[in-house]
């Protein structure tokens, strides 16, 4: 391999890692809900879409950027709290399939509400981030991808600090470890679930703005949830660290596979390679790299 081939490989790898941080951002929304309530929130993608569409629609109507951001944040917090209170709290202790179907139906309701409120047209979202690539040691890096990855990393660090160093965070971890033990020591599960759904709404807001600026705000944006699934399978559904590491692995591997394996299979490998990798992990380690192993008693 020549020096220029090596630089190109590093450039592809860096681009994949930056994309992986964006995948992790969506996956963390899943992990927050799943750890505390055991619900696979399939509506997370629709929440990402709703956040991006609300923000860009407010900006287009002449509302200042900062105020639009504040209003959208309040809307997403209210949406997360409402979902927990009205939809999922009455379904506590129901089967996982019932909960999954509830969030799947909720996904279509949120998309329909977004369509009724803001219309179906495609919007461009400009966050004021320059996307001109810059060169570092002969490697071209996207300015937008780097800044977006930095924002996502800062948010992940903030959430991690919140859940590890605050009283609510410690309560969250206790509920994630054992709901019945947490209930026995006096923790209020509904309050914790409401807080977690609020955090999931905030994650959806950040993810919606970054992905909306990258791809445009359109209804296919909700399908970004499908990119989070192999991340969750790889890292583990109940691990924030797993969501981060899984996103980096998925992002890097799919870019490298497209460049170096794609020519041998006709291209298009980036669209399905992550799922093939997730399938292999399922066969070898069903709980994921960082997920909690379950022990079946006979």
Q: Are 92 and 29 in contact (CB under 8 A)?
A: no
Radius of gyration of the chain (CA): 20
Task: Check residue 1 and give its pLDDT.
Answer: 61
pLDDT tens-digit series, residues 240-250? 888 889 999 99
Mean pLDDT taken over the chain: 83
Lowest mean pLDDT among 77-81, 95-99, 188-192, 242-246: 188-192
Task: Check residue 164 and give its pLDDT.
Answer: 77
| Right CATH for 3-284 from 3.30.70, 3.90.75, 1.10.3470, 1.25.40 | 1.10.3470
Is residue 21 helix, strand or coil? helix
Domain ranges of the chain: 3-284
Task: Check residue 9 and give its pLDDT.
Answer: 86
DSSP conformational letter for 286: T
H helix intervals, 3-95: 3-37, 44-60, 65-82
Is residue 93 helix, strand or coil? coil
Confidence class for position 279, pLDDT limits 50, 70, 90: very high
Q: What is the mean pLDDT of residues 256-261?
A: 89
Task: Check residue 280 and give its pLDDT.
Answer: 92
Q: What is the mean pLDDT of residues 40-51?
A: 88
pLDDT tens-digit series, residues 101-155? 888 899 999 999 988 988 888 888 888 777 778 787 778 888 888 888 888 888 8
pLDDT tens-digit series, residues 16-37? 888 888 888 888 888 888 877 7
Q: How far is 143 from 145, CA to CA, in rounded Å?
A: 6
Q: What pTM does this model have? A: 0.84
């Amino acid at each position: 391999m020549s020096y220029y081939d090596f630089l190109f490989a590093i450039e592809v790898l860096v681009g994949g890692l930056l994309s992986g941080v964006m995948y992790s951002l969506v996956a963390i929304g899943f992990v927050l809900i799943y750890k505390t309530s055991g619900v696979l929130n399939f509506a997370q993608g629709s929440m990402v879409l709703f956040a991006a569409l609300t923000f860009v629609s407010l900006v287009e109507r002449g509302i200042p950027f900062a105020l639009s951001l504040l209003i959208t944040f309040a809307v997403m917090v209210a949406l997360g709290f409402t979902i927990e209170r009205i939809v999922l709290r009455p379904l506590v202790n129901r089967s996982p399939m019932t909960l999954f179907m509830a969030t799947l139906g909720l996904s279509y309701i949120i998309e329909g509400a977004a369509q009724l409120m803001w219309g179906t047209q495609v919007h461009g979202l400009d966050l004021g981030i320059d996307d001109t690539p810059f060169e570092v040691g002969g490697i071209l890096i996207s300015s937008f991808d780097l800044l977006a990855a930095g924002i996502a990393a800062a948010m992940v660090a903030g959430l991690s600090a919140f859940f590890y160093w605050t009283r609510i965070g410690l309560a969250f971890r206790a509920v994630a470890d054992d709901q019945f033990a947490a209930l026995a020591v006096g923790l209020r599960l509904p309050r914790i679930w409401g807080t977690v759904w609020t955090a999931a709404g905030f994650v959806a807001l950040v993810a919606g703005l970054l992905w909306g600026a990258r791809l445009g705000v359109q209804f296919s944006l909700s399908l970004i949830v499908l990119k989070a699934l192999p991340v969750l399978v790889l890292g583990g559904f109940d691990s924030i660290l797993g969501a981060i590491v899984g996103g980096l692995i998925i992002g890097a591997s799919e870019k490298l596979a497209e460049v170096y394996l794609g020519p041998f299979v006709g291209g298009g490998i980036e669209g399905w390679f992550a799922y093939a990798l997730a399938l292999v992990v399922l066969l070898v380690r069903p709980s994921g790299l960082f997920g909690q192993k379950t022990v079946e008693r006979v």
